Amino acid sequence: TWSAVPAGPPDPILGITEAFKADKDSRRINLGVGAYRDEDGKPYVLNAVKKAEEKITAAKLDKEYLPITGLSGFTSNAAKLAYGADSVPRNQNAIAVTQTISGTGALRIGGTFLARHYPHSKTIYVPTPTWGNHIPLFKDSGLEVKFYRYFDKKTVGLDFEGLKEDLQNAPEGAIVLLHACAHNPTGVDPTQSQWKDISDIVAEKKLFPFFDMAYQGFASGSTDRDAFAVRYFVSQGHQIALSQSFAKNMGLYGERVGAFSLTTASEEERKRVDSQLKIIVRPMYSNPPLHGAHIANTILSDPELYQEWEGEVKGMADRIINMRERLYQLLSNDFRTPGEWSHVKSQIGMFSFTGLNKEQCKVLAEKAHIYMTMDGRISMAGLNGRNIEYFAKSVDAAVRG
């Protein structure tokens, strides 16, 4: 029956973990997938999460189905976290929000909703480069994917002129995907003043902004600061779509906790939009999983746990920032590795786009047992006090060839 099914390629990011696991060298380092690791290189379960789970166990909750759009306390708190307590559409009861299968599920529900109901366009513009999964995900949602310039290889920074030009030349009404903070894979974000210019172009060209916020808190260590772009756009009167993930900022990766929301013009409009979100979810997975939503909701609604969580998010962000500083010092001062390395320090969030080319990445995997994506992206969280010197030395050797 399946004799004509061709073998497909593995996921370019998740496939790296397989190669890493197969390598038994004691020096091996996995810098592929964007998942936080502690100073010992171990996956990290946040204390706030452990305490929330204890509370949930003690409450002896049942395992009944959630409503189609998920746990209402969770979705309400997720919207508050993203939009802020004093958000106008939030206080008008005009934000339609549904719990989703993490950020990927949020993007997919959002893509499907836009393909079905957004009246002005079926085209979504995504940055070059972007998270690899965005492209098949939006295509499978029924949207056409086009690109806007984002990263400038020469400056290893934002190609702001290219970005503006491409958005200005996009057809009126097109959808534009914006990484809310900690752009994946480049680690390069617009400044607040550049966000204001982007907001102006979006208004002028009547583009529809779809924010992907997979790293709230991870960029600066502050969930409020990282929500700047989302809140600024809403304050300027834009209606937005938003995908949220709690994979990174609560370390809930495998629990699959996320939310998709749309700001609408009124409570009445919100109710109609809500009904259509339910119609999308119902034949897809009926209703979302329970446990992770309880964890996130317990943290977001308990002031003590919330405070502990904020401290832990900042702790993760700060450890990554320290690794950036250390890596820069090693390459730039200790080894005097050819090239300019300050982007390692200035980039933001989970990743650094090192500028290493495909050949150098291959050499690092084959000779040094160091695994990263072939575009030169490294997950900074995979570095720690014990492996960073070996990593820098190996990069130095690869660059010198």
Q: Which residues belong to the active site?
A: 131, 212, 248
Question: Is residue 122 within 8 Å of residue 173, measured between CB atoms?
Answer: no
Closest CA to 242 of 131, 114, 155, 349: 114
The yes or no reply on residue 347 touching ligand TYF (CB under 6 A) is no
Residue 13 touches which member of ligand TYF, ligand PLP, none, C-beta under 5-8 Å by kind: ligand TYF
The yes or no reply on residue 104 touching ligand PLP (CB under 6 A) is yes
Which one of the spans 11-19, 93-101, 219-227, 269-277 is the region binding ligand TYF (CB under 6 A)?
11-19
Structure tokens, 234: 């809403």
- CB-wise, 104 or 141, nearer to ligand PLP? 104
The helix/strand/coil state of 278 is helix
DSSP single-letter state for residue 38: -
Name which of residues 177 to 216 contact ligand TYF (CB under 6 A): 184
Tell me the HSE value of 8 on the side-chain side, using a 13 A CA sphere: 5
Closest CA to 110 of 252, 213, 34: 213
Residue 221 touches which member of ligand PLP, ligand TYF, none, C-beta under 5-8 Å by kind: none
The yes or no reply on residue 378 touching ligand TYF (CB under 6 A) is no
Q: Tell me how far apart the 2 most distant CA atoms of the chain are, in Å.
A: 64
Minimum Å distance from CB 110 to ligand PLP? 11
Name which of residues 22 to 61 contact ligand PLP (CB under 6 A): 34
Kind and range of the H or E element at 390?
helix 388-400
Closest CA to 382 of 47, 46, 33, 16: 33
Q: What is the dihedral of CA 303, 245, 221, 184, to 10 degrees?
A: 180
Question: What is the x/- site pattern for ligand PLP, positions 144-183, by CB under 6 A?
Answer: -----------------------------------x----
Please state whether the peptide bond connecting residue 185 to the residue before it is cis, i.e. omega within 30 degrees of 0.
Answer: yes
Minimum Å distance from CB 204 to ligand PLP? 26
Minimum Å distance from CB 308 to ligand TYF? 25
Residue 268: how many other CB atoms lie within 10 Å: 10
Structure tokens, 23: 């390598």
Q: Which residue has the tokens 């979302």?
A: 288
Which one of the spans 10-18, 272-280, 314-322, 331-339 is the region binding ligand TYF (CB under 6 A)?
10-18
The yes or no reply on residue 34 touching ligand TYF (CB under 6 A) is yes
Residue 245 touches which member of ligand PLP, ligand TYF, none, C-beta under 5-8 Å by kind: ligand PLP
Which one of the spans 8-16, 41-49, 58-66, 220-228 is the region binding ligand TYF (CB under 6 A)?
8-16
Name which of residues 325 to 354 contact ligand PLP (CB under 6 A): none
| Residue type at position 75 | T
- CB-wise, 175 or 247, nearer to ligand PLP? 247
Nearby residues of 192 by Cβ (< 8 Å), 6 or more positions away: 228, 232
What's the CA gap between 128 and 368, in Å, rounded? Answer: 29
- CB-wise, 173 or 376, nearer to ligand PLP? 376
The yes or no reply on residue 364 touching ligand PLP (CB under 6 A) is no
Which one of the spans 21-29, 97-105, 146-154, 318-326 is the region binding ligand PLP (CB under 6 A)?
97-105
Residue 117: how many other CB atoms lie within 10 Å: 13
Listed in order, strand segments (DSSP E) in 161-313 are: 175-179, 208-213, 241-245, 257-263
Question: What is the x/- site pattern for ligand PLP, positions 282-321, by CB under 6 A?
Answer: ----------------------------------------
Name which of residues 177 to 216 contact ligand PLP (CB under 6 A): 179, 184, 212, 214
Q: Where are the alpha helices (DSSP H) in 32-71?
A: 47-58
Structure tokens, 95: 């934000």
State the residues that interact with ligand TYF by CB under 6 A. Answer: 11, 13-14, 33-34, 131, 133, 184
State the residues that interact with ligand PLP by CB under 6 A. Answer: 34, 102-104, 131, 179, 184, 212, 214, 245, 247, 258
